[in-house]
């Protein structure tokens, strides 16, 4: 009987109990781990690793199977081949008819490509660029598995160059880094080609250490000391394993052998100081060209460095500077990224101080009266006051400046005060005054004010009634006059608590008073604008004969 017919033999009914017991024992042995193979026309049981006695000899044919796996060969894709298409030819062969043949890409889930076959020729779609592993599986009817593997490369896209440096029309030194950015999954090599000003053609060299991948970068430092100063041209070439090559643009750069020397930074404008405008002119001069010129304006909450120009030696820009004090720093970066700088201090104060109020208040044509001492003060807005002054007229008519150093508040509202005595002035003397507030660039003056120094009370003259006079009428005339204007004149009759106002802002007054018979007194109280008060009392009698 042939080996492939062993599984198709119908089971023979066993009539003897002994033979049944032997079969059960052999089944138990099979569960312990053995395999059966065809030797001639008889199936034999072979136990692993060491056959026991009951495992040797023939076994029933229905328990026998063929354990030899199918042989598998991958004809295509060819080992190590590079394919420039995503549809890769696939051809697999088996040395005998297989129940089915499967294939797997890069360890993925196997897919059946044919059944009841010994070979298959088709195509498979591989979208990913790069190196791939193909595994082919062949299974016979008994489940025996044959495996074969091969590796191949898919490269359907030409290399893509993303950028290069140094920049076009830039200035470079004798020791310069050249770099290229690219996309290429199957990189073969990267070449740099350079032509000096005096050369007739480009000299190319292959860069080392370049890798495949997305957004990769490869660079090399070139010693250009053998080239003459002047224009130098260069480009890159990127090649893949499929033989496709992409060339970059040809850049022209200026070779300056002194480019590696330090850069001297000179800020010509603005100069150190305080300015009354926020718009300043920034002028920078360098000793040699720089890759970048940047500037920063450091203050409380200042901003970072801002590019002024690229690949330049000089700069002339408009600079906006906020209010306050700042540190202006200008940086020059060479080709290696080394920074050279110069720093200076500037301040902007474009808003003049604003005086909001003065003490005493200054009213045009309306003087303020004062006595022995006066509290002078000014309320103003200024973030950086440098001087707060009182300009006070002296007894001889000249003005002196008096610093007000007792200040409080914040920039939006500050108050400075000073108390001054006026004992050196003559009574009723007019004293002029005004204030000034200065910041670093400007001064604001207040309105002019006038004080009248007044320490003497008014002189009261009472023409009627007359002291000690006896009047025979109940009607008595009151006649009062002063030597100066009073803010008010009041009277008290016979010690009453009630004070009657005769007049305000006056120098005298006539009035009529009515009295009963008897002794009477009238007190006149006069108060001037400085608050000085004078009193005068007259005593008289009224006798109409009625009693």
Over the stretch 100-146, which tens digit does the pLDDT of each residue have? Answer: 999 999 999 999 999 999 999 999 999 888 889 999 999 988 788 99
DSSP state of 366: B
pLDDT of residue 4: 38
Please check the confidence at residue 303 and state whether its pLDDT lies above 70: no
Cis omega (within 30 of 0) for bond into 206: no
The pLDDT assigned to 441 comes to: 85
- What average pLDDT does range 451-478 have in this prediction? 94
Residue 309 has pLDDT above 90, yes or no: yes
Q: Tell me the sheet residues that pair with 479.
A: 464, 510
Instruction: State phi, psi for 28 to the nearest 5 degrees.
Output: -65, -40
Query: Is the model's pLDDT at 398 over the cut of 60?
Result: yes
429-438/413-421 β-pairing:
unpaired
For residue 257, the model assigns a pLDDT of 78
Q: Is the pLDDT of residue 453 over 80?
A: yes
In this structure, which topology does domain 460-542 adopt according to CATH?
Immunoglobulin-like (2.60.40)
At 33 the pLDDT is 41
Show Cβ contacts of residue 108 under 8 Å, excluding neighbours closer than 6 positions.
none
Longest Cα separation, the chain: 183
CB 387 within 8 A of CB 416: no
Q: Is residue 496 very low, low, confident or very high in pLDDT (cuts 50, 70, 90)? A: very high
Question: Is a pLDDT exceeding 60 seen at residue 13?
Answer: no
405: confidence class by pLDDT, cuts 50, 70, 90: confident
Sign of the alpha-carbon dihedral angle for 107, 113, 119, 121 = negative
What is the Cα–Cα distance from 121 to 93, expressed in whole angstroms? 9
**b vs e for 44-68, b when ≥16 Cβ sit within 10 Å of the residue's Cβ?**
bbebeeeeeeebeeebbbebbbbee
* Across 400-427, average pLDDT: 90
Give the model confidence (pLDDT) of 242-292 as tens digits. Answer: 889 999 999 999 888 776 688 999 999 999 998 988 899 999 999 988 889
72-154 to CATH, choices 2.60.40.10, 3.40.50.720, 3.40.718.10, 3.40.190.10: 2.60.40.10
- For residue 312, is pLDDT > 50? yes
Domain with CATH 2.60.40.10 in the chain: 72-154, 261-348, 354-453, 460-542
Pick the CATH number of 160-258 from 2.60.40.10, 2.60.40.1220, 3.30.420.40, 3.10.640.10: 2.60.40.1220
Res 36: pLDDT: 53
For residues 460, 462, 468, 473, the Cα torsion angle rounded to the nearest 10 degrees is -150
| Residue 23's pLDDT band (cuts 50, 70, 90) | very low
Pull the structure tokens for residue 340: 């050279």
Residues 6+ apart with CB under 8 A from 10: 62
Confidence (pLDDT) at 1:
36
pLDDT at residue 171 in the model = 81
Partners of 246 in the β-ladder: 238
Assigned CATH class of 354-453: mainly beta
> Does 1.10.10.10 match the CATH number of domain 261-348?
no
Segment 185-202 shows an average pLDDT of: 92
Asked if the model's pLDDT at residue 12 lies above 50, the reply is no
């Amino acid at each position: 009987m042939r080996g492939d017919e062993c599984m198709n033999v119908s089971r023979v009914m066993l009539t003897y109990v002994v033979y049944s017991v032997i079969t059960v024992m052999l089944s138990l042995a099979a569960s312990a781990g053995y395999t059966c193979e065809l030797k001639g026309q008889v199936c034999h049981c072979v136990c692993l690793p060491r056959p026991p006695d009951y495992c040797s000899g023939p076994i029933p044919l229905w328990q026998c199977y063929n354990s030899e796996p199918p042989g598998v060969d991958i004809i295509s894709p060819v080992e190590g081949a590079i394919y420039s298409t995503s549809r890769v030819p696939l051809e697999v062969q088996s040395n005998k008819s297989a129940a089915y043949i499967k294939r797997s890409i890069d360890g993925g889930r196997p897919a059946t490509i044919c059944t009841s076959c010994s070979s298959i020729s088709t195509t498979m779609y591989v979208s990913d660029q790069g190196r791939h592993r193909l595994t082919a599986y062949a299974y016979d009817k008994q489940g025996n598995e044959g495996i074969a593997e091969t590796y191949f490369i898919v490269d359907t896209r030409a290399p893509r160059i993303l950028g290069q440096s140094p920049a076009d029309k830039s200035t470079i030194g004798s020791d310069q880094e050249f770099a290229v950015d690219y996309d290429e999954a199957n990189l073969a090599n990267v070449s740099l080609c350079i032509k000096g000003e005096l050369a007739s053609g480009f000299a190319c060299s292959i860069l080392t250490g370049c890798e495949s991948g997305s957004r990769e970068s490869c660079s090399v430092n070139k010693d250009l000391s053998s080239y003459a100063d002047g224009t130098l041209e260069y480009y890159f070439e990127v090649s893949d394993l499929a033989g496709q090559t992409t060339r970059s643009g040809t850049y022209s750069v200026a070779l300056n052998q002194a480019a590696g020397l330090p850069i001297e930074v000179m800020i010509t404008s603005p100069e150190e100081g305080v300015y009354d405008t926020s718009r300043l002119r920034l002028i920078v001069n360098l000793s040699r060209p720089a890759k970048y010129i940047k500037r920063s304006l450091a203050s409380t909450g200042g901003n970072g460095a801002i590019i002024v120009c690229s690949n330049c030696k000089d700069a002339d820009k408009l600079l906006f500077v906020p209010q306050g004090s700042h540190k202006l720093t200008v940086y020059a970066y060479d080709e290696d990224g080394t920074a050279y700088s110069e720093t200076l201090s500037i301040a902007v104060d474009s808003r003049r101080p604003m005086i909001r109020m003065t003490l005493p208040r200054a009213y045009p044509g309306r003087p303020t009266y004062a006595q022995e001492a006066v509290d002078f003060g000014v309320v103003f807005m200024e973030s950086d006051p440098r001087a707060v002054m009182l300009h006070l007229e002296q007894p001889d008519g000249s003005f002196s400046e008096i610093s007000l150093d007792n200040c409080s508040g914040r920039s939006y509202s500050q108050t400075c005060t000073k108390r001054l005595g006026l004992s050196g002035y003559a009574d009723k003397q007019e004293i002029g005054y005004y204030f000034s507030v200065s910041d670093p660039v400007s001064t604001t003056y207040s309105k002019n004010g006038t004080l009248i120094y007044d320490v003497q009370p008014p002189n009261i003259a009472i023409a009627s009634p007359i002291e000690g006079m006896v009047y025979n009428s109940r009607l008595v005339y009151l006649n009062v006059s002063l030597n100066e204007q009073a803010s008010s004149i009041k009277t008290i009759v016979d010690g009453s608590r009630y004070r009657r106002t005769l007049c305000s802002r006056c120098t005298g007054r006539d009035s009529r008073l009515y009295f009963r018979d008897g002794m009477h007194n009238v007190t006149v109280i006069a108060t001037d604008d400085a608050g000085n008060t004078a009193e005068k009392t007259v005593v008289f009698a009224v006798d109409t004969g009625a009693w």
